[in-house]
Amino acid sequence: MMHKAKSNKVVALNRAWAYLGLGLHLLMALLMAVTVIRDGWSWNAVALCFIYVMGLWLRPTWLWLTLVIATWACLLLVAPSAVFMAFALFFLCVGVLPLWPAIVCNAVVTILSVYQGGEALGPIVAAVVATVVGVGFKELRDEASAREVASRHAGEMGERTRLAGEIHDTIAQGLSSIHMILQAVEKRVEDPEVLEDLRLARTTAEDNLAETRRIIAALQPGPLVGGDLPIALARVSSGTPLGEALSFEVEGEPYDLDEKVEQELTRIAQSLVSNVVKHSEATRARVTLTYQSDLLSLDVVDNGRGMDEELVSKIAADKMSLSPVGLAGVRRRANLIGATMHVESSPGAGCGVSIQVPIR
């Protein structure tokens, strides 16, 4: 209902702007008629009419406006009554040009009017009034349009987030449960043919679960829209098959971060948590976000099977172009925000990955 009210406001402002434009053109035509009646026709008047009408058919631009003002200045030399057109030109400058170019343009029109007309007060007051009214209305219209776009975007993001939540709570959770049940049943079956069928069913469920999660990620790219980093990481941590076995903690007092830093840390957390679920065979894991005055740390620790020392050494030396557990991608994301990655692991003793972001 609120969005509809905002939309109606924008429509009303746009309609008013269109009426103002029509009124401006009629005013210009009336002032041209007054000039012709008082001072007669001239080639300058014909040229001004032609150029102005061309602007009605084409989209008005700064070049067109420059030609209009230049032709009007030439008309002033032979038709003093054309000075009254300055009032319409003031609004025209505001309507076609951005703020500061419009002010400069109105100053030029004012100077020409004062020089030709001999009176200073009238043109100056008219220029100020036209500039203030025109700019104020444009700002109001632009602000209303921006709010409508923001409101529409927020509504779309809210719906996408709702759909992502529904898919996660139904399809994704169901596939995850099927996958875990089939995995447990496999361990109790000895018949090779039945075991092969179970493995096929488990693999199919796993593939569909992965595809479902990709859909969820596409619908909810943040994965949090309009929230802060701790909430985003809490959602990342809670949306896994490990359930309560994967905990999330925040240490220190949270503070504002650059949007890019928050986005990259969220993606890093998604990758690291995915690694734990897919590769570590862990029964417990913990995600910790630590706020310090000069350092922000994201730590993901699990009690899984760990990695051998050779692989850890390659990670430490940054000699991994491709990683079987996606750590090369994590390092690349960390580098994008000036962060460092540290890995501690040994076979059978779990794994810990720390991302440290310097705070300047």
Q: Which two tokens stand for residue 285?
A: 């894991």
In whole angstroms, how large is the CA radius of gyration of the chain? 34
Identify the pLDDT of residue 358: 92
The CATH number of the domain holding residue 342 is: 3.30.565.10
73 with 201, same domain: the answer is yes
pLDDT tens figures, 5-60: 445 666 666 677 677 778 888 888 888 888 888 888 888 888 888 888 887 777 76
Q: Which portions of the chain are predicted below pLDDT 50?
A: 1-6, 221, 223-227, 319, 321-325
What is the residue range of 203's domain? 1-221
Which of 157, 188, 221 lies at the terminal end of a domain, its last residue?
Answer: 221
251 with 141, same domain: the answer is no
23 with 150, same domain: the answer is yes
Which of 221, 243, 273 lies at the terminal end of a domain, its last residue?
Answer: 221
204 with 268, same domain: the answer is no
> Distance (Å, rounded) from C-alpha 83 to C-alpha 350?
85
Q: Which two tokens stand for residue 305?
A: 């099977």
182 with 289, same domain: the answer is no
Q: Which two tokens stand for residue 316?
A: 């430490």
Q: What is the four-CA torsion angle of 10, 11, 13, 15, rounded to 10 degrees?
A: 160
CA 217 centroid distance within chain:
17
Tokens 């998604």 belong to which residue?
Answer: 270
12 with 80, same domain: the answer is yes
Amino acid symbol at 196: E
Find all residues with CB under 8 Å of 162, minimum gap 6, and list them: none
Task: Give how many domains the chain has, as a whole number.
Answer: 2
Identify the pLDDT of residue 333: 87
12 with 25, same domain: the answer is yes
Identify the pLDDT of residue 6: 47
11 with 98, same domain: the answer is yes
Amino acid symbol at 280: S
19 with 83, same domain: the answer is yes
For residues 117 and 123, is the Cβ–Cβ distance under 8 A? Answer: yes
40 with 177, same domain: the answer is yes
Within 13 Å of residue 101, how many CA atoms lie on the same side as its CB?
Answer: 11
Question: Where is 252: in which H helix or E strand?
Answer: none
Q: Which two tokens stand for residue 66?
A: 């420059």
119 with 246, same domain: the answer is no
Identify the pLDDT of residue 227: 44
93 with 206, same domain: the answer is yes
Closest listed residue to residue 158, CA positions, set 91, 90, 227 = 227
For residues 44 and 71, is the Cβ–Cβ distance under 8 A? Answer: yes
Which of 196, 221, 246 lies at the terminal end of a domain, its last residue?
Answer: 221
pTM of this prediction? Answer: 0.40
